[in-house]
Amino acid sequence: MCIRNYVNLKKWHLLLVIQILIVSIVKGQSQPAISGSVVSEGKPVELATIKYRKIGVDSLSTAFTTQRGLFSLPCEINQKYKIEILYIGLQKYTSDTILVRDGAGVNLGVINLIGGATSLKQVSIVSKKPLVVKKIDRLVIDVENNPFSPGTNFIDLLSMSPGVRVDAKENIRVQGKKGVVIYINNRPSNLSGDQLTQFLSTLPSDNIKNFEIITTPPSSYNAAGTSAILNINLRRPLSDGIAHRFSGSMTKGDNFENNLGYNIDVKKKQAFILLEYKFFKS
C-alpha cells in the first residue's frame, strides 16, 4: 500500500513539474517584433516618428524611437509589413516589404537618416544649424531653415515632428495624449474641431519661423487641463481680410442626402473668427 502511494505521489510530482515547465515556456515567449535603431550622422535620433502597417490592412500604427534611437514594433508571424520613419529636417525612410517568418521577429539593424541638402552651382550645401532644439519644457522646431519645408503646410510639418501623431482625420496627439491647444505667436487661437483643422492645413510653411511643442506649459499660458501646447511663431502677421467658402456634397445610401455649407473666415491680426453654416437634407 505504501509503495502504491509512493508511486502515485511521484507521478503527481512529475505532472506538476511538467505543468510548471509548460507555463514557464509560454511566459518566456514574447510577442515577435520588428526592431532596429535610427541614427543620423552617427548619433541616435530620439522621438523619430515610425508609421507602420500590415500589408492589406488600412489601419496605420505609430510609434517613436527611444532616447537611444531604438524602436520595437509588435507584429504577427507570417505577416508582411511596411514602415516609414520620419524626422523633421531628415529624409524620410521607407522600408521594403518586411516578412515576419517566426517568433524571433525581424531586426532591421541600424537605419541611417540622411540630412537635407541643396545644391547651388554644383556645390552641395548642408545646413548644420540644429532643426530641433530641446529645452526643459519644450522642443523648438526650426521651420525656416528646414530644407523640406517649402511647399508644405503646418499639418505636414507636424506629422514629421518628434512625439507628435497626426491621424487620418488630422487629429493631433502629443506623446499619445489628446487635448492639444494651438497658440499663434504666444496667443491662443481660440479654434477647435474642423475649424482648427482647416486653418492648420492651409497655413503655409513659408510663413512659419518655428513652432514649439510645449509638453509642460508654464503658468503664463493658462493651460490648465491641456496635455500640451503647440505655439506657432509666424514670420509675418496673418493678412487681415475675409474669406468666403461654399461647399456641397451628395451621398447615396437608402436615401439621397444633400449637404450644403457656407463658411466665413475673418482674420484680424491675431484674432480669428470662423462662422460656419451647414444644411442637411435627406
The residue from 93, 112, 131 where one domain ends is 112
Separation of alpha carbons 263 and 133, rounded Å: 38
List the chain residues with pLDDT less than 70.
1-30, 116-129, 223-225, 238-282
Residue 154 and residue 252 in one domain = no
Give me the CATH number covering residue 82.
2.60.40.10
User: Which grid cell sits at 215?
Assistant: 509638453
Q: Does residue 173 form part of some domain?
A: yes
The residue from 84, 112, 140 where one domain ends is 112
Closest CA to 233 of 199, 268, 201, 270: 270
Residue 124 and residue 189 in one domain = yes
Q: Does residue 213 form part of some domain?
A: yes
Residue 252 and residue 228 in one domain = no
Residue 108 and residue 127 in one domain = no
User: What is the predicted pLDDT for the residue at 26?
Assistant: 41
Residue 147 and residue 223 in one domain = yes
User: What is the predicted pLDDT for the residue at 273?
Assistant: 47
How many residues are there in the chain?
282
0.85 surpassed by pTM: no
Residue 228 and residue 269 in one domain = no
Residue 171 and residue 193 in one domain = yes
User: What is the predicted pLDDT for the residue at 99?
Assistant: 96
Residue 107 and residue 177 in one domain = no
Q: Does residue 2 form part of some domain?
A: no
Residue with cell 521651420: 143
When divided into structural domains, the chain yields a total of 3
Per DSSP bridges, beta strands 106-112 and 33-40 are parallel
The residue from 112, 134, 169 where one domain ends is 112
Q: Does residue 8 form part of some domain?
A: no
Closest CA to 198 of 156, 170, 172: 170
Q: Does residue 25 form part of some domain?
A: no
Q: What is the pLDDT of residues 87-123, one digit of tens each?
A: 988 899 999 999 999 988 999 999 999 976 443 343 3
Please give the residue range of the domain that contains residue 210: 120-234
Q: Does residue 27 form part of some domain?
A: no
Give me the CATH number covering residue 162.
2.170.130.10
3-state secondary structure at position 174: strand
Which amino acid, 144?
A: E
Residue 93 and residue 128 in one domain = no
Residue 59 and residue 160 in one domain = no
Residue 222 and residue 249 in one domain = no
Q: Where are the alpha helices (DSSP H) in 40-137?
A: none
Q: Does residue 9 form part of some domain?
A: no
Residue 143 and residue 223 in one domain = yes
Q: Does residue 105 form part of some domain?
A: yes
For residue 75, is it left (φ>0), alpha (ψ between -120 and 50) or beta?
beta
